[in-house]
Chains A and B, each alone.
Chain A
Amino acid sequence: SAVISQKPSRDICQRGTSLTIQCQVDSQVTMMFWYRQQPGQSLTLIATANQGSEATYESGFVIDKFPISRPNLTFSTLTVSNMSPEDSSIYLCSASGGNTEAFFGQGTRLTVV
């Protein structure tokens, strides 16, 4: 199983600012994903981070709001831009080696004030 390090683990940010979340995997993985989990809700997929190309976003999520980078097979970042209180959530990075289970980072608990 892959070990995923995600940081920061939590942050409190002012509205209108941006936060970049980093995700580092201890081995090369095929797929990396970013999820959001609102309080008491399940995981909602934001996008698939593609190595060497633009991320693939799910309905309701756009690149201008959630730019994603994936410069190599072990690292990805998610930026939450121009934040508002509605962006307060837990953001989770996930990695998968293909037709296998997905593993998760520790999550980033974001509060926008």
Chain B
Amino acid sequence: QKEVEQNSGPLSVPEGAIASLNCTYSDRGSQSFFWYRQYSGKSPELIMFIYSNGDKEDGRFTAQLNKASQYVSLLIRDSQPSDSATYLCAGSTGGFKTIFGAGTRLFVKA
């Protein structure tokens, strides 16, 4: 069973702090990893993707991938109340279907 595991949270951080979201995956064949943000009642929105080991930065977001440990993370710097949402980690194998984690609920307190 190919799985993507996430802590469901909720994760609560104060405004301006760094939020750290973590994800592990079981399929070593997974090649691409994605972080989606989903506001309540809305569709998932892609915020980051990463294919290679290491860090990838985009604005306040940094995705980290460690294929040896089968671990993916998302750091959100200078967290804002508008970042409060559910963050879905997903993995894809060779361009086929994407498997989603259960999501981590993030609350950023003003």
Q: Which residues of A contact B (CB under 8 A)?
A: 1, 30-31, 33, 41-43, 45, 48, 92, 94, 96, 98-107, 109
Interface residue stretch chosen among B42-50, B55-63, B68-76 = B42-50
16 new A-B contacts, CB < 8 A, other than A98-B95, A102-B98, are A31-B95, A31-B97, A33-B97, A33-B98, A41-B102, A43-B88, A45-B97, A45-B99, A48-B97, A96-B98, A99-B31, A99-B95, A100-B49, A103-B46, A104-B44, A109-B41
B31 adjacent to A105 (CB under 8 Å): no
Chain B residues, CB < 8 A from A104: 43-45
B97 adjacent to A99 (CB under 8 Å): no
CB-CB contacts below 8 Å: B4-41 with A: 31-32, 34, 41
Q: Which of A103, A104, A109 gathers the greatest number of chain B CB atoms within 10 Å?
A: A104
Chain A residues, CB < 8 A from B98: 33, 45, 94, 96, 102
Given contacts A30-B95, A45-B99, A100-B95, are A107 and B43 in contact (CB under 8 A)? yes
Chain A residues, CB < 8 A from B101: 42
Name the CB-closest residue of A to B46. A101
Q: How far is the CA of A36 from the CA of B44 in the complex (A)?
A: 12
Q: How far is the CA of A105 from the CA of B42 in the complex (A)?
A: 10
In the complex, how many angstroms separate the beta carbon of A39 from the nearest chain B beta carbon? 10
Given contacts A101-B49, A105-B43, are A96 and B95 in contact (CB under 8 A)? yes
Q: Which of B32, B44, B90, B95 gathers the greatest number of chain A CB atoms within 10 Å?
A: B44
